[in-house]
């Protein structure tokens, strides 16, 4: 679907690298390229990120994964988040993961691998769980648990703001209200074709632009043509639409995920980080409230932001939480929202070179916030030097979907 979009009225600008998408991944990549002295354009249809996953996530940060590359990306990112802890609201209160019999044996087998990768993690019996978290008083189906003190919770908006501030300090140019509608990657350089709106766009306009995938959107605003040595696609759940502009595909599936905020009344979880239950429900303290999520396995792939409200809470969340802890009896729904998971078939992100002059980092399958720092650094290194710092990252390239060398991440909800 690559079209010649040349417009004689277009403003023309030139950069070393142009990044499409300014969520946490695009912003981290912009910072990393700026640090390396490159001139960079960071482009988004909505810099405030109203539809973006970076604005609609649960803020969990963990290196407790089963794929070594996921452990490594999170560990490196966590070390960076520790260095700017107060700026990004990083609360390192740990992850408590409760396992059923089916997963517990594998969780135990993974402990030495996780520790080898510098991830501090302990195994707990149900009895030890009761001693650490007295709120949990029902142990049906728990074979064991892990607790990882270095994991925790982050404010992803502050993290994104940090990346952008650093990027600006390195003279990265941010384009807001700018929609990429065409890509041409020739032997000499790459060209991006943008329309930049002169006034703020409504939610409906942003949603329509992001989800249209036939290039048929009528032109609007100011035409801009950007020439660059390389382009980086960091368009999250919309990466398949952007890749299609360059005649490339991606197996990414956009899947709606819903989060609820509940009034905890007499219960406070402020001493704990994230808790994952065997039932798939996860929850953590959120100011005076509790934030809880659950991912129904039957949810179809779609660009849907419909929030099912109290009905979702009463049907999927509250029964699972109450089944684990009787103190949640009086938990009451307050509010919530829906956002998009950007899932790959093996639940690991896509990072690498997609074609000559076209690089990509997207589809982090619900772990993009916690891996964003390392992902940005690795993509920048690939663009600048042609290789990764951590050779494991090579496995995240798109070639794995053709060769079958998948990095299936089983510790995923
Ligand atoms: C409910 C929920 C809970 C989650 N919980 C966690 C969690 O606890 N921890 C964690 O690490 N991750 C979590 N995630 C996943 C995490 O939010 C994502 O992996 C991460 O935000 C992806 O960042 P991104 O920059 O790749 O994509 P996004 O943040 O979606 O950014 C992509 C950007 O690209 C722009 N764009 C797309 N196409 C175009 C175009 N043609 N022109 C211009 N701009 C374009 C969009 O406007 C958007 O701003 C969760 C996600 C959801 C929905």
User: 216 CA distance to ligand 1 centroid (A)?
Assistant: 24
Q: CA–CA separation, 19 vs 362, rounded Å?
A: 12
Q: CA–CA separation, 29 vs 32, rounded Å?
A: 5
User: 153 CA distance to ligand 1 centroid (A)?
Assistant: 17
- The model's pLDDT over 249-276, given as tens digits with 9 standing for 90+, comes to 999 999 999 999 999 878 999 999 999 9
Kindly indicate the confidence band of residue 3, based on its pLDDT and cuts at 50, 70 and 90.
Answer: very low
| Residue range 88-107: mean pLDDT, rounded | 97
Q: CA–CA separation, 211 vs 218, rounded Å?
A: 14
Check pocket membership of 58 for ligand 1, CB cut-off 6 A: yes
Q: What's this model's pTM, rounded to 2 decimal places?
A: 0.97
User: 47 CA distance to ligand 1 centroid (A)?
Assistant: 12
User: 16 CA distance to ligand 1 centroid (A)?
Assistant: 24
Q: Which atom of ligand 1 is nearest to the CA of 194?
A: 42
Within 10 angstroms of residue 166's Cβ, the number of other Cβ atoms is 18
Q: CA–CA separation, 237 vs 210, rounded Å?
A: 10
Check pocket membership of 21 for ligand 1, CB cut-off 6 A: yes
Check pocket membership of 95 for ligand 1, CB cut-off 6 A: no
Check pocket membership of 370 for ligand 1, CB cut-off 6 A: yes
pLDDT of residue 141: 97
Q: Which two tokens stand for residue 368?
A: 């993009």
User: 374 CA distance to ligand 1 centroid (A)?
Assistant: 16
pLDDT of residue 9: 83
Task: Name, in order, each residue with C-beta under 8 angstroms of 247's C-beta and a sequence gap of 6 or more.
Answer: 1, 2
- The model's pLDDT over 207-233, given as tens digits with 9 standing for 90+, comes to 999 987 555 667 889 999 999 999 999
Check pocket membership of 351 for ligand 1, CB cut-off 6 A: no
What percentage of residues in the chain have a pLDDT greater than 70? 97
Q: Got the DSSP string for 217-245?
A: PPP-SEEEEEEEEEEEE--GGGHHHHHHT
Check pocket membership of 341 for ligand 1, CB cut-off 6 A: yes
pLDDT of residue 102: 94
- The model's pLDDT over 295-307, given as tens digits with 9 standing for 90+, comes to 999 999 999 999 9
User: 237 CA distance to ligand 1 centroid (A)?
Assistant: 7
- End-to-end Cα separation, the chain, in angstroms: 35
Beta 173-175 vs 40-43: how paired, if at all? parallel
pLDDT of residue 8: 76
| Residue range 381-395: mean pLDDT, rounded | 98
Judge whether 368 and 237 are in contact, CB under 8 Å: no
Structural domains in the chain, CATH included, are 11-55+157-250+347-403 (3.50.50.60), 92-152+254-343 (3.30.9.10)
- The model's pLDDT over 280-289, given as tens digits with 9 standing for 90+, comes to 999 999 999 9
Kindly indicate the confidence band of residue 1, based on its pLDDT and cuts at 50, 70 and 90.
Answer: very low
User: 169 CA distance to ligand 1 centroid (A)?
Assistant: 23
Check pocket membership of 57 for ligand 1, CB cut-off 6 A: yes
Angle ∠(362,118,273) on CA atoms, nearest 5: 70
Q: CA–CA separation, 93 vs 18, rounded Å?
A: 37
pLDDT of residue 2: 39
Judge whether 224 and 194 are in contact, CB under 8 Å: yes
Beta 282-286 vs 190-196: how paired, if at all? unpaired
Per DSSP, 189 falls in state: -
Q: CA–CA separation, 307 vs 292, rounded Å?
A: 14
Residue nearest to atom 37 of ligand 1 (CA): 235
As a three-state string, the secondary structure of 77-104 is: HHHHHHHCCCCCCCECCCEEEEECHHHH
Q: Which atom of ligand 1 is nearest to the CA of 242?
A: 41
| pLDDT of 368 higher than 70 | yes
Check pocket membership of 45 for ligand 1, CB cut-off 6 A: yes
**Which of 12-21, 91-100, 200-209, 389-398 shows the lowest mean pLDDT across its residues?**
200-209
- The model's pLDDT over 351-363, given as tens digits with 9 standing for 90+, comes to 999 999 999 999 9
Q: CA–CA separation, 69 vs 108, rounded Å?
A: 18
Per DSSP, 317 falls in state: I
Look at residue 153 and give its three-state secondary structure.
strand
pLDDT of residue 240: 97
Judge whether 389 and 377 are in contact, CB under 8 Å: yes
Question: Which of 148, 154, 369 shows the shortest CA–CA distance to 276?
Answer: 148
Within 10 angstroms of residue 263's Cβ, the number of other Cβ atoms is 14
Mean model confidence pLDDT for the chain: 95
Q: CA–CA separation, 139 vs 144, rounded Å?
A: 10
Kindly indicate the confidence band of residue 6, based on its pLDDT and cuts at 50, 70 and 90.
Answer: low
Task: Name, in order, each residue with C-beta under 8 angstroms of 394's C-beta and a sequence gap of 6 or more.
Answer: 352, 388
- The model's pLDDT over 130-171, given as tens digits with 9 standing for 90+, comes to 999 999 999 999 999 999 999 999 999 999 999 999 999 999
Look at residue 403 and give its three-state secondary structure.
helix
Residue 95 main-chain phi, psi, to 5 deg:
-120, 125
| pLDDT of 235 higher than 50 | yes
| pLDDT of 175 higher than 50 | yes
Alpha carbon distances (Å) from 260 to 106, 307, 318: 30, 10, 10
- The model's pLDDT over 31-75, given as tens digits with 9 standing for 90+, comes to 999 999 999 999 999 999 999 999 999 999 999 999 999 999 999
User: 67 CA distance to ligand 1 centroid (A)?
Assistant: 21
């Amino acid at each position: 679907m690559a079209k010649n979009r040349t417009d004689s009225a277009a403003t023309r600008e030139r950069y070393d690298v142009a990044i499409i998408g300014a969520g946490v991944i695009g912003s981290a990549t912009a910072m990393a390229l700026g640090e390396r002295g490159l001139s960079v354009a960071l482009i988004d249809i909505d810099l405030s990120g109203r539809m973006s996953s970076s604005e609609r996530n649960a803020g969990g940060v963990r290196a407790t994964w089963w794929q070594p590359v996921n452990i490594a990306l999170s560990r490196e990112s966590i070390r960076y988040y520790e260095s700017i802890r107060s700026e990004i609201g990083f609360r390192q209160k740990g992850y408590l993961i409760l396992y059923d019999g089916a997963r517990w044996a594998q969780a135990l087998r993974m402990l030495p691998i996780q520790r080898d990768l510098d991830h501090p993690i302990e195994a707990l019996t149900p009895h030890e769980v009761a001693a650490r978290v007295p709120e949990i008083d029902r142990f049906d189906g728990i074979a064991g648990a892990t607790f990882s003190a270095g994991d925790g919770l982050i404010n992803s908006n502050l993290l994104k703001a940090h990346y952008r501030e650093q990027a600006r300090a390195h003279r990265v140019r941010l384009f807001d209200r700018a929609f990429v509608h065409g890509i041409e990657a020739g032997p000499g350089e790459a060209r991006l074709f943008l329309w930049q709106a002169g006034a703020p766009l409504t939610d409906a306009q942003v949603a329509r632009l992001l989800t249209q995938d036939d290039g048929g959107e009528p032109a609007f605003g100011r035409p801009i043509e950007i020439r660059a040595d390389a382009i980086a696609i960091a368009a999250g759940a919309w990466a398949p639409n952007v890749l299609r502009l360059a005649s490339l595909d991606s197996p990414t599936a956009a899947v709606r995920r819903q989060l609820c905020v509940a009034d905890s009344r007499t219960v406070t979880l402020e001493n704990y980080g994230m808790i994952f239950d065997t039932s798939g429900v996860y929850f953590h303290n959120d100011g005076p409230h509790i934030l809880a999520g659950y991912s129904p396995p039957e949810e179809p792939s779609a660009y849907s932001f419909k929030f099912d409200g109290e009905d979702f809470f009463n049907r999927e969340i509250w029964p699972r939480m109450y089944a684990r802890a009787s103190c949640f009896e009086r938990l009451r729904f307050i509010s919530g929202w829906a956002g998009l998971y950007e899932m790959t078939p093996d639940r690991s992100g896509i990072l690498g070179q997609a074609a000559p002059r076209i690089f990509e980092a997207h589809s982090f399958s619900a772990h993009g916030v916690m891996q964003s720092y390392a992902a940005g650094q690795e993509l920048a290194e690939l663009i600048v030097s042609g290789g990764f710092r951590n050779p494991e990252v090579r496995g995240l390239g798109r070639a794995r979907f053709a060769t079958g060398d998948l990095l299936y991440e089983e510790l995923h909800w």
